[in-house]
Amino acid sequence: MSEKLRYSDASLAEFKELINEKIANAEKDLRHFQGQIDYSGNNSGNETGKKLGSMEDGSEALGREKIAQLAHRQRKFIQQLRAALVRIENKTYGVCRQTGKLISKERLKIVPHTTLSIEAKNAQLKEN
């Protein structure tokens, strides 16, 4: 019996639904992060208009930087999920880019944007 070369249309539809849910949640989180960045940027002084002390100022800057990093990661995650949707439309979703074999459904449910099977990912980690 030959090995399957791609997932069925029904399986791809299930993955598409999962990915769309993940995109919606990620976009919601991104809006939250952006709101926090906007809020902290607008409130750089206290109620009387005086500037915060240098330690408070530095702490706030670190907080904004951390939120900006989280927002950046969220944008990247959304891009990866959208790329997975393109692979679904092309019917190449779930095929390992290294081995050409199907990535397990269990792995795709956990990491739906992956392009590597667990074997290929482990081999990649061993190389580094």
| pLDDT score, position 128 | 78
CA distance 19 to 106: 14
Amino acid at position 61, single letter: A
CA distance 127 to 109: 26
Task: Classify residue 33: in a domain, yes or no.
Answer: yes
Task: Classify residue 125: in a domain, yes or no.
Answer: no
**How many structural domains compose the chain?**
1
Please count the other Cβ atoms lying within 10 Å of the Cβ belonging to residue 14.
Answer: 15
Alpha helical stretches, state H, 1-128: 9-42, 54-89, 105-110, 118-127
Token pair, residue 45, equals 């002084």
Task: Classify residue 28: in a domain, yes or no.
Answer: yes
Average pLDDT of the chain? 87
Task: Classify residue 116: in a domain, yes or no.
Answer: no
Residue 32, domain extent: 9-93
pLDDT digits (tens, 9 = 90+) for 2-38: 457 899 999 999 999 999 999 999 999 999 999 988 8
Specify the pTM.
0.79
| pLDDT score, position 68 | 93
Task: Classify residue 100: in a domain, yes or no.
Answer: no
